[in-house]
Chain A
Amino acid sequence: MQTPGAGGGLTAVLRNRFLLRLLVRKEIRVRYRGSVLGLLWSYLKPLLQFSVYYVALGIFLNLQGTTENYAVYLFSGIVLINFFTEAFGNATRSIVENRDLIKKIYLPRELFPMSAVWVSAVHFFPQVLVLGGACLIVGWRPDVLQLFLVLVGFLIVACLATGLGLLFGAVNVYFRDAENLVDMILMVVTWASPVLYSWNLVSDALGPWFFLYQLNPMTVAVELFHYGFWVPTLDAASAGPALMPDILAVWVPTAAVVSVLILLLGQFVFRRLSANFAQEL
């Protein structure tokens, strides 16, 4: 015999892949219902965001004078930040938004944050295509290692967003303050990793405390995207500002460990709190 409602955590989501797929499809269908441009919106928004940053920072503040191919540098960071922002934000709200279902039918509740992250990944891939196209125009020649590291960067962010989404999504059921807290975190995150500027500036300013900045998995993931998309577009002669020292040997493994630990923490808290979701919602 089994105990009803004793979920298997994230492994239960794996057993319910069919339902996960349907939830993701529903989310995408519903988001673009009655809209003429449909999925095209998920291209237009980052393009506008990119243009604004590029004009303001690249041209007005003349960052493209100091950073070669600044547009590619900027965009490869922005797409990753967009993925993280959407995944984390929507996963946080996913439990409260699905309250009608959670109060009536038992499902592994991890399905909702997971499908939110999945939907964000669906919106992320077209942006990567646009980025790849832009890179090709300026002479992109990546090697296999660089492409592999892009994948690693994506997985680090997916893992981090899922962990944080589970954590804050569960807390949000009890205290709706969590949503606002997450909005604030998301405001900071663009500036807490080298998206709009290069890491040297932070290193100069923080000195011995620079390791704190490097401990942020987003910093490492953004640098990996720079390594995969931006570095292969540079002339070999003018190597531009180099990547962070020791990034592959030290900081990528560190970021992977930090995101997995956050995922485990998120899952642990989620399971503890999810037992009472139905009565608290």
Chain B
Amino acid sequence: MPTDAIVATGLQKRFVLRHTRSLKEAFVWFVRGRHGDLVQKFNALDDISFTVRSGETVALLGLNGSGKSTLLKLISGVLQPDAGVIRTRGHLAGLIEVGAGFHHDLSGRENVYLNGAILGMSQRDIEERFASIVEFAEIGEFIDTEVKFYSSGMYLRLAFSIAVHTDPDIFLVDEILAVGDEPFQRKCLAKIRELAAAGKTLIVVSHDLDLVSSVCERGILLENGRLVKDGEVSSVVSELRQRARDH
């Protein structure tokens, strides 16, 4: 029986609309007896509950601003929920904004180590997988060149290659499938399918509905921070298309 990989119960996330950045304003607000809110807030996510079984492939769907990326950040731990509980099992890695841990003044090799460690790989993991990372990225002899001289395609390929080699139990994918040219995209997709087949849990955010329905089995539809539909991916995709037309 498969175990639970992600359990979310009653998740709520509130964001601030207007910031008060200066200490003076905050001080005035404080000494006047803290009347009213110092900031205005809105609900980015409200009462989200779901369970993902280990090995499931789930697409997070919704229009812009529906809260998909916020939910992904709650799962990865970058953000903390204001209410509710989220629990995950096993090692978790994200293909969220590839290359976030890259430094332009370091060589490709140094970036593989730095970014690999940022994504949770140990020194031994990186040394063992180094050749495979470089090969998958098709970087070849440029591995010792500083990444600021890389073409955007090379940059993304290397970043993606490091991320897929972290070998996590749960894989978070945010709009990654727009990487590189078509042959490389196909290669990425094949790699993601391979991970899914190997029993990894996959959470995918993408606006490419045909693509997510081919990769994922299950869909979760968000609208204005609320979970409106959770089920088999093709039915959720058609629900989203329906709602988008009515919009």
Residue A276 contacts which of B4, B80, B97, B113 (CB distance < 8 angstroms)? B80
Residue A19 interfacial (CB < 8 Å): yes
Contact string, B9-26, partner A, CB cutoff 8 A, digits 1/0? 000000110000111001
User: Please, which residues of chain B bring their CB within 8 A of the CB of A106?
Assistant: 76-78
Assess whether B105 is in contact with A6, with CB atoms less than 8 Å apart: no
Assess whether B100 is in contact with A105, with CB atoms less than 8 Å apart: yes
Chain B nearest CB, measured from A24 CB (Å): 11
Residue B122 contacts which of A4, A5, A18, A33 (CB distance < 8 angstroms)? A18
Nearest CB to that of A103 among chain B residues? B78
Assess whether A104 is in contact with B117, with CB atoms less than 8 Å apart: no
Residue B202 interfacial (CB < 8 Å): no
Assess whether B79 is in contact with A3, with CB atoms less than 8 Å apart: no
Segment from B83-91, B130-138, B230-238 that makes contact with A = B83-91
User: Please, which residues of chain B bring their CB within 8 A of the CB of A103?
Assistant: 78
* Interface of chain B residues 111 through 162 with chain A (CB within 8 A): 113-114, 117-119, 122-123
Most buried by A among B22, B78, B92, B110: B78
* Interface of chain A residues 16 through 69 with chain B (CB within 8 A): 16, 18-19, 22-23, 26, 29-30, 33
Contact string, A246-281, partner B, CB cutoff 8 A, digits 1/0? 000000000000000000000000000001101100
Chain B nearest CB, measured from A38 CB (Å): 14
Residue A2 interfacial (CB < 8 Å): yes
Question: A177 CA to B21 CA in the complex, in Å?
Answer: 9
Assess whether B78 is in contact with A100, with CB atoms less than 8 Å apart: no
Nearest CB to that of B122 among chain A residues? A18
Report if A3-B85 is in contact (Cβ < 8 Å); known contacts: A26-B103, A26-B106, A105-B76: yes
Chain B nearest CB, measured from A154 CB (Å): 27
* Interface of chain B residues 89 through 110 with chain A (CB within 8 A): 89, 92, 94, 96-97, 100-101, 103, 105-106, 110
Question: A105 CA to B74 CA in the complex, in Å?
Answer: 11
Residue B7 interfacial (CB < 8 Å): yes
Assess whether A30 is in contact with B103, with CB atoms less than 8 Å apart: yes
Assess whether B94 is in contact with A105, with CB atoms less than 8 Å apart: yes
User: Please, which residues of chain B bring their CB within 8 A of the CB of A205?
Assistant: none
Residue B73 interfacial (CB < 8 Å): yes
Chain A nearest CB, measured from B14 CB (Å): 9
Residue A18 contacts which of B22, B75, B94, B123 (CB distance < 8 angstroms)? B123
User: Please, which residues of chain B bring their CB within 8 A of the CB of A33?
Assistant: 105
The number of chain A residues with a CB under 8 A from chain B is: 30
Residue A105 contacts which of B106, B113, B119 (CB distance < 8 angstroms)? B119
Assess whether B89 is in contact with A1, with CB atoms less than 8 Å apart: yes
Residue B23 contacts which of A1, A6, A177, A275 (CB distance < 8 angstroms)? A177
User: Please, which residues of chain B bring their CB within 8 A of the CB of A29?
Assistant: 105-106, 110
Question: A104 CA to B87 CA in the complex, in Å?
Answer: 19
Residue A234 interfacial (CB < 8 Å): no
Chain B nearest CB, measured from A169 CB (Å): 16
Question: A84 CA to B95 CA in the complex, in Å?
Answer: 38
Assess whether A4 is in contact with B22, with CB atoms less than 8 Å apart: no
* Interface of chain A residues 221 through 267 with chain B (CB within 8 A): none
User: Please, which residues of chain B bring their CB within 8 A of the CB of A279?
Assistant: 15-16, 79
User: Please, which residues of chain A bring their CB within 8 A of the CB of B77?
Assistant: 3-6, 106
Nearest CB to that of B87 among chain A residues? A1
Question: A26 CA to B112 CA in the complex, in Å?
Answer: 12
Question: A279 CA to B44 CA in the complex, in Å?
Answer: 12
Chosen A-B contacts, 22 in total, with CB atoms closer than 8 Å, are A1-B4, A1-B89, A3-B77, A3-B88, A5-B77, A5-B78, A5-B80, A23-B114, A26-B114, A30-B103, A30-B105, A101-B101, A102-B78, A104-B100, A105-B76, A105-B101, A105-B118, A105-B119, A175-B22, A175-B26, A276-B80, A279-B15
Q: Which residues of A come within 8 Å of B, CB atoms?
A: 1-6, 16, 18-19, 22-23, 26, 29-30, 33, 100-107, 175-177, 275-276, 278-279
